[in-house]
Amino acid sequence: MLYKNRIRSQAEYEAARLASIENPEAFWAEVASNLHWQKPWDKVLDWSFDPYEVKWFSGGKLNISENCLDRHLADRGDKTAIIFEPNDPKDLARRITYRELYFEVCKFANVLKRNGVRKGDRVCLYMPMIPALAVATLACARIGAIHSVVFAGFSANSMADRINDAACSVVITADGMSRGPKQIPLKRVVDEALDNCSTVNRVIVYNHLNWMPEMVSGRDVWWHEELQHVDSECPAEPMDAEDMLFILYTSGSTGKPKGVVHTCGGYATYVDYSFRNVFQIEENDIYWCTADIGWITGHSYLLYGPLMSGISSVMFEGIPTYPDPGRFWSVIDKHGVTVFYTAPTAIRSLMAAGIDHVLAFNLHSLRVLGSVGEPINEEAWHWYYLHVGKERCPVVDTWWQTETGGIMISAMAGVTASKPAHAGQPLPGIQPVLLNQEGQEIEGNDQEGYLAVKFPWPSMIRTTYGDHERCYQTYFSAYKNYYFTGDGARRDENGLYRIIGRVDDVINVSGHRFGTAEIENAINQNKHVIESAVVGYPHDIKGQGIYAFVICDKMPDNATQLREDIYETVSSEIGRIAKPDKIQFVTGLPKTRSGKIMRRILRKVAENELGSLGDTSTLLDPLIVDEIVAGKL
């Protein structure tokens, strides 16, 4: 039953794609019927891109947690839902069955209710990659609270911004977390963030490391103590298809991250459909997505997708290189992973660590390999295919975004055409186009342009939280009647898409998005900094690195110290993950007479393409370019 609607051949794919274009409503109605709906929908789709409003499955009611848990109890109650692999390989892995997970979620949902959380309230989750995070997320969904998971690498300031933007009333966290050899005091970061948040009245703390942090009386409660007071029955709240399911913040080309909003019915439908089809999921798969739940990949394809399909999903607390670069391969061997989904950055860093780490383990259980988050270069693709997949496993290079909710362009493993470094063809139901500068569709193959989508799909962004106009301006105003992705792409002679990268001021570092303005704002908080300009440059491991050109109050005597100082500022403003890779101190920036920074020139310098800086004569001070080139790092 759960595996119906799975496309199993190129011919079936072509037929489904055609059907989805000819009669989208009939197509999506069939896809959505794979889920359990408490009440059927009245209308499949209402839409307009200008002004922007889409509604999928209006009138329908469902609950995603019921689709992840309750409906599996009869047939899969004793099946493993989550295999938890801890940070330290010496610690025991834990298996949680669907039934156990169901009870844990119900109980914690009652804890939330007991602490005043109601349908529609926003709850911030700032947690390690441990089963409690999955439980807390599903518990929010169960009672209709809107979860806003903040990746635990973000700083107190970033968390406070996100909490304030969504006016969260509750924060769920843990005492601390382990990441490789490091331990991070999460509760302390939450305390610091909450100094600047007035909407939070409750913090629920999970005891993970036995650290016993200070608890604020009247505000903080222990997760395990709260559990003593609740029972294990909690019916799933009937949610309207268009009720909000979650908010997830992501960076754009402006300084302030936006809260991408996804709703219940469309998101569940599309994630379920894309998951089963892209990975060609089988009942006995042991599936492992290495992303953190703090990112969209973790939401859609670590948590919701696998659980809706009723398969076993690995959740890993640690990092690929701890205690050594064989860790990923040892986990695949240990748990018999069949489908493995990771990011090019991880592949490149493990590739650099040498093949011996891979050869030490038995990877024969693998059936499908996936890649996500950034373009995968051919060298990494081949290494992955050859050394990890042993030339037996199809590689799916999945292109999508926080805003798209689910995978948009990708091969279906072993079923549809695939090619190294190409995402491939769109999933049936997805209608991508390439646009030229004027916003006209570029027809035919062997073409390059701006990647846009011309027809709605169920899991598309509904709004940016609290600011619908911003959503319209960001995604629907550049090209009227299209959703604009911000990516450039090429369609090869056979119609397969290759993603070239961002065409806006977004840098994709190790698959994580940052706006240049966001990083500049952070750098500018340092008391010595007067102005800065940030660009991306090709980085062997991270895909893109962050290169910052910085003007200080005076040229520093001790550049190393000042760099450290700026790293500190960025870590505290955004988080460790946004630290610039290179900081060059300059006395000026290349600006036009109207004061606009010519980033094109800075990008060329950062990319070391000094021969093609272009015309600099229109600059306010053309000589500054010589200084910048001379001081290049």
Give the CA dihedral 394, 484, 507, 504, nearest 10 degrees: 140
**Candidates 83-91, 191-199, 397-405, 554-562 — which segment interacts with ligand PRX by CB under 6 A?**
397-405
* Site residues (CB under 6 A) for ligand PRX, limited to 472-491: 485-487
Q: Which two tokens stand for residue 391?
A: 């030339």
Q: How far is the CB of 593 from ligand PRX (least distance, A)?
A: 33
Among 111, 303, 423, 624, binds ligand PRX (CB under 6 A): 423
d(CA 470, CA 423): 29
Q: How far is the CB of 80 from ligand PRX (least distance, A)?
A: 26
Per the DSSP assignment, residues forming a β-bridge with 340 are: 288, 369
Among 249, 399, 482, 484, binds ligand PRX (CB under 6 A): 399
Is there binding between residue 65 and ligand PRX (CB under 6 A)? no
d(CA 361, CA 331): 9
d(CA 371, CA 373): 7
Is there binding between residue 297 and ligand PRX (CB under 6 A)? yes
Residue nearer to ligand PRX on the CB measure, 483 or 585: 483
Other CB atoms within 10 Å distance of the CB of residue 144: 23
d(CA 96, CA 512): 30
User: How many residues form the binding site for ligand PRX (CB under 6 A)?
Assistant: 23
Q: How far is the CB of 307 from ligand PRX (least distance, A)?
A: 19
- CB burial readout 271-280, b (16+ within 10 A) else e: bbbbbbbbbb
DSSP state for residue 92 in the 8-state scheme: P
Residue nearer to ligand PRX on the CB measure, 191 or 397: 397
- The contact mask relative to ligand PRX for 426-465 (x = CB under 6 A, - = no) is ----------------------------------------
26 phi/psi in degrees, rounded to 5:
-65, -40
Residue nearer to ligand PRX on the CB measure, 422 or 599: 422
DSSP state for residue 301 in the 8-state scheme: I
* Site residues (CB under 6 A) for ligand PRX, limited to 243-272: 250
Residue nearer to ligand PRX on the CB measure, 68 or 395: 395
The number of residues in the chain equals 633
Among 374, 505, 518, 520, binds ligand PRX (CB under 6 A): 374
Is there binding between residue 148 and ligand PRX (CB under 6 A)? no
- CB burial readout 475-497, b (16+ within 10 A) else e: bbebbeebbbbbbbbbbeeeebb
Residues 548, 531: contact at Cβ < 8 Å?
no
Strands (DSSP E) found in 298-446: 312-316, 339-342, 368-372, 395-398, 432-435
Q: How far is the CB of 149 from ligand PRX (least distance, A)?
A: 13
Among 296, 337, 411, 433, binds ligand PRX (CB under 6 A): 296
- The contact mask relative to ligand PRX for 332-371 (x = CB under 6 A, - = no) is ----------------------------------------
Is there binding between residue 510 and ligand PRX (CB under 6 A)? no
Residues 517, 253: contact at Cβ < 8 Å?
yes
Residue nearer to ligand PRX on the CB measure, 155 or 398: 398
Is there binding between residue 397 and ligand PRX (CB under 6 A)? yes
d(CA 333, CA 327): 10
d(CA 179, CA 435): 42
Footprint of ligand PRX on this chain (CB under 6 A)? 250, 296-297, 372-375, 397-402, 423, 485-487, 499, 501-502, 508, 511, 513
